[in-house]
Amino acid sequence: MKTRKPLSILLTLALVLGLLPWSVLPARADAPYDISRGPVIINSGNVSAWNGRTVTGSVNAIATAGAFSTVTADNQRGAIIVDGVSVSLTIRDLSVVAAVSEGNLAKVSPILLRNGARLDLTLEGANTLTACSGGAGIRVPAGCLLTVDGSGSLNATGGDDGVSKHEQRGGGAGIGTDDTASSNDNRVENGTIVINGGTITARGGSQTKTISGVTLSLGSAGIGGSANTVGGSVTINGGAVTATGGGGAAGIGGGFEGSAAVTITGGAVTATAGGGYSGGDMGAAIGCGY
C-alpha cells in the first residue's frame, strides 16, 4: 500500500496540472509558447517566468472565442495582455487575427498593454496582428511604453468600428490607442511608442457614419492616436516603417481631431494620411489628424 501512495499522488498532480491554463504555469525560458494554446496574461505574479520568452503560432477567431481574454471594462479583449509590469518578449511568425461576430461588438487588441505596462518587443520572422471593433493591433494607452526592435516584420491593423456605434470613436490605431471614448470635452491621452528596428506596416481603423445624407469616415493613425486623443509620443530611430491613417487621421501621429508628438531620428519612413472625412479632408502624413 505504501508503494502505491506516491504513484497515486503523482497521477492526481498530473491531472490537476493538465487542467490549469498555460499562463499560470511556470514558463520555460527555452520553450516558445504557441498562442493557439490560449491567451497569455502577464502580471506581477508571473512576469519573471515570461520575461525573455518567445510567442509564436496563429489564432484566427471571432472576438468572443476563448482565444481572447477579457480583462477590462468596455468588453475589451486581447491574446497577449501585459498588465502593470515591464517585460521583454519576442514574437516569431505570430499571427493573431480577430473577427467580428454577428451582433457582437467585442473589442480585441491582439497585444494589449494596460496599467502602466512596459513591453520590449523583438520581431522575428513575419508577424501579423489584426484587431477588430475598434481595438488596436498593439494597444498602447496613456502611461504605457512599447519599444519595438528586431530583424523580423510586423503587419499591424487597427479594427474598424461598426456604424451601429453612436459615439464618435473612429476605430483603433495599428499601433497605439484603441477607440477610447475620447471627445473634445474629455480628451484621452496616448501612450509612448519607440521603434528601433524591424520592418513595420501599420494601418489605422475607421468608423463610417452618415449624417444628413453625407457619408463621413473618421479614423485612427497607423501609428499613434485614435480619434480625439492627444499627447503621448512616437519615436522612430530605425527600421523600415510604413504607416497609413484611417479617415481624417495622420499616418503617424494623431487620429481624427487628435495629436501626438512625433520624432524621427533614423530609419526609412513612409507615411500616408487617411482621407474620407467631409468629402476627402485629410490629416497630415506625419503630425496631427484633420
Query: Per the structure block, which three cell numbers stand in for 274?
Result: 487617411
Q: Of 59, 65, 268, 258, give the one whose Cα is nearest residue 172.
A: 258
| In-domain check, residue 25 | no
pLDDT at 7 over 70: no
| In-domain check, residue 11 | no
Widest CA span in the chain: 83
Q: How many domains does the chain have?
A: 1
Q: Is the dihedral of CA 60, 65, 67, 68 positive or negative?
A: positive
| In-domain check, residue 116 | yes
> Which stretch of DSSP H or E encloses residue 12?
helix 4-19
The answer to whether the CB of 126 falls within 8 A of the CB of 93 is yes
Q: Which of 4-13, 24-33, 113-122 has the lowest mean pLDDT?
A: 4-13
Entry pTM: 0.84
| In-domain check, residue 107 | yes
Q: Mean of the per-residue pLDDT values for the chain? A: 82
| Radius of gyration of the CA atoms of the chain, in A | 20
pLDDT at 217: 75
| In-domain check, residue 65 | yes
pLDDT at 285 over 70: yes
> pLDDT digits over 133-190, tens only?
888 999 999 999 999 999 999 999 998 876 544 455 678 899 998 887 544 555 678 9
Q: Of 286, 288, 172, 178, give the one whose Cα is nearest residue 235.
A: 286
pLDDT at 85: 98
pLDDT at 17: 43
Range of the structural domain that residue 206 is part of: 32-287
Reduced to 3 DSSP states, what percent helix, strand and coil does the chain have, rounded to the nearest 5? Answer: 10, 45, 45
| In-domain check, residue 2 | no
pLDDT at 19 over 50: no
Three-state DSSP at 158 gives: coil
pLDDT at 40: 94
